[in-house]
Amino acid sequence: MIAIVDYDAGNIRSVVNALERLGVKDYVVTSDAEVIRSADKVLMPGVGDASYAMANLKARGLEGVIPELRQPVLGICVGLQLLCSSSEEGNIRCLGIFEENVVRFRSDDPAVKIPHMGWNSISDLKSPLFKGISEGAFVYFVHSFHAVEGPDSIAVSDHGGRFSAALHKDNFYGVQFHPEKSGPVGAMILKNFIEL
């Protein structure tokens, strides 16, 4: 069973739709700690403001639950950011799974628009999450903050400079892009996660 963590931080429905398209029937949308602990896989989606999302996670008593999970966990977009050490968005401490910090895009180049919105390529892919995905494959991003490149990076992208498109440590994975909106490439990445 796949648990989709519901903490009032956006695009749950898009993720549910993507699972349905993959033929996954055994999932539950929940903020119940017991249900999350007993799931085979945990998906933590999120859009919007990281400090708001972190506050919502705490309000549901989940900030201690998530880091203790032992099954594969995938954070999407803000979900990834919450698994990092800290975020400049609201200057918050995050869950600290990944040692990388989340910072705002900064560029003096007017051609580098913020938010980073649209399809960008990912490279330096190194994880079973990207099984069958080619170097340079395009995925869909929408964000103004990003995790820096670091030891946990398993994919990078470039928007006025390199940043972590995906992170991995132990049983925790995070993708900054939206696999649920990234066509067949995104569907494959979600499928790879489900099959971990």
Partner 1 sequence: MVAKRIIPCLDVKDGRTVKGINFVGLKDVGDAVELGRKYAAEGADELVYLDISATLDGRRTFTELVSRIAAGIDIPFTVGGGISSLEDAARLLDAGADKISINSAALRNPDLIGQIASHYGSQFVVVAIDAKCIDGTWHATTHGGTVPTDKELFSWAREAQERGAGEILFTSMNHDGTRSGYPCDTFAALADTLSIPIIASGGAGSVTDIADVLTEGKADAALAASIFHYGEIPIPVLKRELVKQNINVRI
Please report whether residue 43 would count as binding partner 1 according to CB under 8 A: no
Question: What CA–CA distance (Å, rounded) separates 117 from 128?
Answer: 26
Through-space distance between the first and last CA atoms of the chain, rounded to whole angstroms: 13
Q: How far from the centroid of its chain's Cα atoms is residue 180's Cα?
A: 11
Please report whether residue 89 would count as binding partner 1 according to CB under 8 A: no
92-93 sheet: strands from edge to edge? 92-93, 86-87, 102-104, 145-147
CB-CB contact of 36 with 65 (8 Å): yes
Please report whether residue 32 would count as binding partner 1 according to CB under 8 A: no
Q: Which amino acid would we find at residue 45?
A: P
Of the candidates 75, 194, 91, 5, the one whose C-alpha atom is nearest the C-alpha of residue 83 is 75
Please report whether residue 67 would count as binding partner 1 according to CB under 8 A: no
In the bound state with partner 1, the residue whose beta carbon lies nearer, of 20 and 170, is 20
Q: Which of 64, 126, 183, 195 binds partner 1 (CB under 8 A)?
A: 183
Q: Which stretch binds partner 1 (CB under 8 A): 82-90, 113-121, 125-133, 166-174?
A: 113-121
Whether 77 sits among the annotated catalytic residues: the reply is yes
Residues paired with residue 116 on neighbouring β-strands, in sequence order: 143
Q: Which of 86, 119, 171, 194 binds partner 1 (CB under 8 A)?
A: 119
Q: Alpha helices of 26-182 — where are they, by DSSP H?
A: 33-38, 50-59, 78-82
Exactly one of 143, 146, 159, 178 is catalytic; name it. Answer: 178
Question: What CA–CA distance (Å, rounded) separates 126 from 36?
Answer: 27
Place of tokens 């998530």: 66
Q: Which of 47, 92, 156, 194 binds partner 1 (CB under 8 A)?
A: 47
Please report whether residue 116 would count as binding partner 1 according to CB under 8 A: yes
Please report whether residue 191 would count as binding partner 1 according to CB under 8 A: no
Question: What CA–CA distance (Å, rounded) separates 98 from 94?
Answer: 9
Site for partner 1 (CB under 8 A): how many residues? 34
Q: Which of 61, 64, 96, 118 binds partner 1 (CB under 8 A)?
A: 118
Q: Which of 142, 148, 156, 196 binds partner 1 (CB under 8 A)?
A: 142
Q: Which residues bind partner 1 (CB under 8 A)?
A: 13-14, 17-18, 20-21, 47-49, 110-111, 113-121, 138, 140-142, 158-159, 178, 180-184, 186-187
Annotated active-site positions, please? 77, 178, 180
